[in-house]
Amino acid sequence: AADQITVSIDAGAAGPTIDRHLFGQFAEHLGHGIYGGVWVGRDSPIPNTRGIRNDVVAALKAIKVPNVRWPGGCFADEYHWRNGIGPAAQRRAGRNPNWGGVVEPNTFGTDEFMDFVGQLGAEAYISANVGSGTRQEAAEWLEYLTAEQTALGDERAANGHAAPYKVAFWGIGNESWGCGGAMSAEHYLEELKAYSRFSRNYNPAQQMRQIAVGPDGAKTEYTETIMRAWASKTWSWNIDGLSLHSYTLNGWPPSVKATGFGEEEYARFIKETLGMDALIRKHGAIMDRYDPQKKVALVVDEWGSWLAPTPGTDPGFLMQQNSQRDAMVAALNLNIFARHAARVRMANIAQMINVLQAMILTDQEKMVLTPTYHVFKMYVPFHDATLLPATFKAGTYRHGQYAMPRVDAMAARGTDGKLWVALANIDFKRPVELALAVAGKTVSTASGQVLSSPHADSVNTFAAPDTVKPAALDVKLVNGKPVLMLAPRSIAVLALE
């Protein structure tokens, strides 16, 4: 057909692994991200296991959350872990100055977080307090988490967990160029070296990976300074990852409406989202100069849509609805991360529940899954899959001053041996016919799911939870080639066998 776009996939090629940690989550003490979203307390009428919501855990298990970053965010650089351990009556309440100044009861602390990730079957990614804490405080936190036969290990046991916890990822500060202390790159580097040196995991078998604060969006000072130092470092410190934070915002302060928008706002937002590719290339090129073997991962541990807060909510709680446009933002970013899988080996969408581009929204006992959640579910087969080359002439989607590819595609060989393909029709109005030409494999069956919606700003609500949800994809084999129509602003994931 004249308007058909062919995606050519080389099923025999060997590419990098799409690390499952690209599908990581971020849960900060912010608004109802933790309190209400994860933690309701043991005495709550909302069904829970040791205070943690059962409905939320079940939903998150279904998307196989690989890791959760906690406790922040900006919150992390003012978090003092000792306030959040021990008997509930002894927890010290404080304030959360970054996010609405509300009372932080500290009823959800280290042991509750480790229980939560344990219930999910996810790894813990803990961010240490560099901004207002000390090296000793951070070192002691790790001792509490991982040591045995020490005073702090005994304290953990007395608090109900005799066995050491596994800390897979250890973040050394958060946004140290901003809310984490507004440090110059040189100053942060000195902090990093000392924190890295003295952050001891007492269970070396855990092979904990340390992640440094890296660039603020397109700014390169942190990338240059830290990677230059890493390339000539001594034995006494190391990092395994460099963090990048980049949101889709369309300007600061965030004012793009979550619903009630038209094509202009759609096109502008998606155009900015696609800029993630250039951003990764920019920082990746610097990292390649100092680390051609790609030993240090670029960790995009805050990304996603940052929109105007839901009217009537506390602006400090960063609550926003989540539409089909957000689903597009999620799929396009995940495709970009996957294509850069050799360098980008971890990412954390901000944030998991009730905050920014969430998977789940809750209100008391009610829970709803967002369009973004459905993207993460559809992408589960890409966890630890092998990236395959996918080439296509994308065409152009144009609206006013905004021009961008009309379609996007990403392919991989799953750990199940199947060939998996993700497709996105970026165009606001035009459906597109897509054909898949697969080299190195005979395709005898093709099936999949599609996520589309009546409108670009369609959302799921407590009253109408299934407005945006995956449906079976109509795909035909034509002369051995899978062929399908993809609706405007929609995403499909197919298995080819």
Active site residue 263: no
Q: Are 297 and 243 in contact (CB under 8 A)?
A: no
CA angle 487, 492, 494 (to 5 degrees): 135
Using CB under 6 A as the binding rule, the residues of this chain from 302 to 321 that contact ligand AHR are: 302
CA angle, 23 as apex, 447 and 80 as ends, to 5°? 160
Q: Which of 175, 263, 272, 365 is catalytic?
A: 175
What is the nearest approach in angstroms of ligand AHR to the Cβ of residue 38?
16
- Residue 362 binds ligand AHR, judged by CB under 6 A: no
Q: Which stretch binds ligand AHR (CB under 6 A): 171-179, 182-190, 196-204, 275-283?
A: 171-179
Report the residue number, 79 or 261, with the smaller CB distance to ligand AHR: 79
CB 337 within 8 A of CB 497: no
175 catalytically annotated: yes
Exposure letters 150-177 (e unless 16+ CB within 10 A, then b): eebbebbeeeebeebbbbbbbbbbbbbb
Residue whose C-alpha is closest to residue 417's, from 477, 497, 480, 334 = 497
Q: How far is the CB of 75 from ligand AHR (least distance, A)?
A: 6
User: Taking CB under 6 A as the rule, does residue 109 contact ligand AHR?
Assistant: no
DSSP-assigned letter for residue 296: S
Among candidate residues 302, 365, 433, 497, the one labeled active-site is: 302
Interface with ligand AHR, residue 174, by CB under 6 A: yes
| Site membership for ligand AHR, residue 74 (CB under 6 A) | yes
For ligand AHR, the closer of residues 52 and 318 by Cβ is 318
* Cβ at position 217, least distance to ligand AHR in Å: 11
CB 189 within 8 A of CB 221: no
Backbone torsion region of residue 355, taken as left when φ is above 0, otherwise alpha when ψ lies between -120 and 50, otherwise beta: beta
Site size for ligand AHR (CB under 6 A):
11
Q: Are 140 and 37 in contact (CB under 8 A)?
A: no
Q: Is 175 in the site for ligand AHR (CB under 6 A)?
A: yes
Residue list 8-37, contact with ligand AHR (CB under 6 A): 28
CB of 76 to ligand AHR, least distance (A): 8
Q: Please, what is the minimum distance in Å from the beta carbon of residue 373 to ligand AHR?
A: 18
What lies within 8 Å, CB to CB, of 193 at 6+ separation is 229, 233, 236, 237
By annotation, the residues acting in catalysis are 175, 302
Using CB under 6 A, list all residues that contact ligand AHR: 28, 72-74, 174-175, 179, 302, 350-351, 356
